[in-house]
Amino acid sequence: MKIERVTVKKNERGLLLRNGDFERVLQPGTHWLFDGLDTLRVELFALEQTAFTHGLADYLMAREPQVVAAEFVRADLTENQVGLRTENGVLVEVLAPATRRLYWKGLIDVQIEVIDIAASAEVPLALVARLVQTQLRQRAVAGLAGVLQVQVPEYGAGILRVDGKVERLLAAGSYAFWKFSRNVSVELVDLRLQALEVTGQEILTRDKVALRLNLSASWRFTDVLKAYKELARPAEHLYRELQLGLRAAVGTRSLDELLESKTVIDEVVAAQVTARLAGYGLQLEGVGVKDIVLPGEMKSILARVVEAGKSAEANVIRRREETAATRSLLNTAKVMEDNPVALRLKELETLERVAERVDRISVFGGLDQVLDGLVKLR
């Protein structure tokens, strides 16, 4: 016979096994084991590690209900339940459905809150706050892979899909959803005014001139659920509509028409795209052509045309001014012919202009002699 002494500390529990089978749980203190025909063995467990992961856990839950009630906290969840395990009031783990586990009593206060998830995938609002930023805690929460956490910004919305079906639109705020037994996803949508660039579009005008155009548009969602119900990718759909509208505006007009009215492209594209977007939950706020790039040879031709046009305008203006000046001189001559006083005043004005360019003038024979001399010089 062999006698063995086993000491179980206050922060420990012992599992006494007889020939490998469960005998009883040993409480703190000193225990004497007498080996006779049977083999006795004690396994010690520190209560700081609350989870009892021994192979006898299922046996104890099935055959030793009194031992389980006295020594353990039991988690026995169905397929439609999740458990929230807290230790001393702090959430430490999210238990998945169908979890069966034992936790030691005695040192740490272990509580398990059971939540039924069959009716709804949404996590209760009071629990959402406990799940946010759990990574910043001293001890992270285990089992969060089964929870989808979503932050919808103030300027956006979220489209909630459960098993591929759109459930509802989420407003700004914090949300969480159970991922167990279902496929849950949230797509964030920006509700602010958005810009869309359509660049590098090569389009032939009606008179076969190739133009490269860059278009800029601004748009927003008016009904998010309708937009995503009718369209797989609303932004891509809007991009294609802007392309088609741009081709309709440019391809049906000549280069001269486009150059004469630069806003015609904006007006045609805006009208066509707005009509095509009706009923899709999208609204076009504004559209405008940023650049129109002509081929190299067309630039040279247009430059020569503009230069010739401006030169012709300059000639017309010059001839008009010469005609007006000649007409003015003729009218002046007629006035002086019929009015000697006016003629005399004109002569004095001429003498004044001549005197401005001469430092000194010597006059012989009076003022009349000077005037007669000037006339002869002319």
Angle, helices 264-277/234-251, rounded to nearest 10 degrees:
140
Q: Do residues 206 and 289 both lie within one domain?
A: yes
Domain-embedded: residue 217:
yes
Q: Do residues 285 and 198 both lie within one domain?
A: yes
- What confidence score (pLDDT) does residue 377 get? 45
Q: Do residues 256 and 202 both lie within one domain?
A: yes
Q: Do residues 275 and 363 both lie within one domain?
A: no
Q: Which of 294, 321, 352 is the last residue of a domain?
A: 294
Q: Do residues 344 and 290 both lie within one domain?
A: no
d(CA 85, CA 341) in angstroms, rounded, equals 121
Domain-embedded: residue 363:
yes
Q: Do residues 212 and 285 both lie within one domain?
A: yes
Domain-embedded: residue 261:
yes
Range of the domain at 362: 339-378
The b-or-e profile of 106-141 (16+ CB within 10 A means b, else e) is: bbbebebeebebeeebbbeeeebeebeebeeeeeeb
Q: Which of 294, 316, 349 is the last residue of a domain?
A: 294
- What confidence score (pLDDT) does residue 282 get? 93
Q: Do residues 203 and 268 both lie within one domain?
A: yes
Domain-embedded: residue 94:
no
Domain-embedded: residue 260:
yes
Domain-embedded: residue 10:
no
Q: Do residues 282 and 359 both lie within one domain?
A: no
Question: Total domain count for the chain?
Answer: 2
Q: Which of 294, 325, 357 is the last residue of a domain?
A: 294
Q: Do residues 200 and 257 both lie within one domain?
A: yes
Provide the residue type at 376 as one letter: K
CB atoms within 10 A of CB 251: 12
Provide the residue type at 111 as one letter: Q
Provide the residue type at 344 as one letter: R
d(CA 103, CA 121) in angstroms, rounded, equals 27
Q: ∠89-92-93 over CA atoms, to 5°?
A: 125
- Per-run averaged pLDDT (10 residues), the chain, 378 residues: 86 91 93 82 92 92 93 94 92 93 94 92 85 66 89 93 91 92 93 93 84 91 92 92 92 83 87 90 92 68 58 74 76 70 67 66 59 52
Domain-embedded: residue 211:
yes
- φ, ψ of residue 227 to 5 degrees: the values are -60, -45
- Which CATH number belongs to the domain containing residue 244 in this structure? 3.30.479.30
Q: Do residues 347 and 262 both lie within one domain?
A: no
Q: Do residues 274 and 348 both lie within one domain?
A: no
Domain-embedded: residue 372:
yes
d(CA 25, CA 242) in angstroms, rounded, equals 77
- What confidence score (pLDDT) does residue 378 get? 44
